[in-house]
Structures are given as C-alpha cells and as structure tokens.
C-alpha cells in the first residue's frame, strides 16, 4: 500500500535524479529511507549541502526559511528542503552528517543509524500530522528492513545526549499497527516486532 500518490513520487524521483547530476549533497529524509529499505517512496526531497554548494543552488529559485532554519525550492507538487552547516537545526547537526554516510545507487546517503535518529526527531516534532504518520512508517521500515546496527545507533545517541530516544523508539514500535504500509502479513509483522523489541530492550 503506497502512502503517497505514485504520480507524485515518480515526479519527485525524477527531480532527485536530475538534481544529482548537477549538485553534491547528502540525501536524508524519506528518499534516504527508501534507498535503505525499498519500502515507501517519498514525495518531498531532503538534502544536506555544504555552504559552497548552496551558492550554486541559487540558480534554482532558492528561498531561505529563517523560521525553520532551512532553504527551500518549491515546485508545483514537490518541495526540496535544503539543510546547511551551522544554520539548520537537525537532530544531528548538519555539519556532522558527512561523518555518517554511505553510497547507494550513486547517491551519498546518510547512514541508516543516523537516519533513524533524524527520523525520530522529525516524528516527535510532527506527531499527529500526516507527515508524522509517514515518519512512523519510515522508522519502522528502517527497523525491519535495513539491518540497523543497534550498537552504532546507541553510540550516536550518546554523542548527542539523546539516549531518551531508545524509550521513544520502543513505545513507537509497541503502538504501531499499520502492517499494510510495510507490505507484511500480520504474522510477519508480529515476528519482526518481537525480534526488534528484544534487541531494543538490550540497549
């Protein structure tokens, strides 16, 4: 079951592919989750760029959002949110994200453990909204389908004084019911859930 309309996600994916040909960035957010899990596709694009790259992006009708501490490129249906070092506020500072990256399908992508933490930060901020629901699905997808290194996850949390996120994650997983969005049967979902909860309780 798709969360976003497939016409929208295809348009967003095409935009992302074109963007990669022109600019250097680290992919975070929903599309990073998709590349790690091959589950739900994304509607919007979230990237982290260096200040030098931001100068190049000015040719793309870039807007600065001082309230949300990010830059934006808005098209008809797809928003590109751009986070930069020493300006944007993310759960892990943008200037540190380059320390947690992998290459997937030609993209520089945030590591799955750091992505899980960013997604948790976004979900806490957007709880009880449509985007917050998508964050929940992305979090569970990362837990079930991306082979998270929980030791690594815990070390990053410690570094940023976020160990309370472990209990947040346990509660979110306990209360999550939407197995259809993960393309799992109730039994598969139950087994994945039990296995993951057992790992989290050991942290």
- Tell me the per-residue pLDDT of 81-133, one tens digit each, with 9 for 90 and over: 999 999 999 999 999 999 999 999 999 999 999 999 999 999 999 998 988 89
Place of tokens 């990053």: 156
Place of tokens 């992919």: 27
Contact 61, 69 (CB under 8 A): no
Q: Is the pLDDT of residue 15 over 70?
A: yes
| Euclidean distance between CA atoms 187 and 183, whole angstroms | 12
pTM of the model: 0.94
């Amino acid at each position: 079951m798709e969360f976003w309309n497939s016409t929208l996600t295809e348009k967003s994916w095409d935009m992302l592919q074109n963007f990669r040909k022109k600019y250097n960035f680290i992919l975070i957010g929903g599309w990073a989750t998709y590349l790690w899990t091959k589950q739900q596709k994304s509607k919007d694009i979230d990237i982290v760029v260096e200040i030098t790259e931001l100068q190049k992006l000015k040719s793309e009708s870039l807007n600065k959002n001082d309230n949300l501490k990010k830059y934006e490129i808005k098209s008809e249906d797809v928003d590109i949110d751009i986070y930069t070092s020493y300006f944007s506020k993310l759960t892990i500072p943008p200037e540190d994200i380059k320390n947690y990256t992998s290459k997937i399908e030609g993209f520089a992508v945030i590591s799955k453990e750091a992505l899980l933490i960013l997604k948790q930060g976004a979900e806490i901020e957007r709880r009880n909204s449509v985007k917050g629901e998508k964050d929940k699905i992305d979090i569970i997808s990362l837990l079930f389908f991306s082979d998270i290194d929980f030791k690594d996850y815990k070390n990053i949390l410690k570094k940023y004084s976020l160990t309370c996120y472990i209990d947040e994650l346990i509660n979110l997983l306990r209360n999550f019911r939407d197995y259809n969005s993960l393309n799992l049967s109730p039994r598969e979902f139950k087994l994945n859930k039990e296995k993951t909860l057992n790992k989290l309780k050991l942290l």
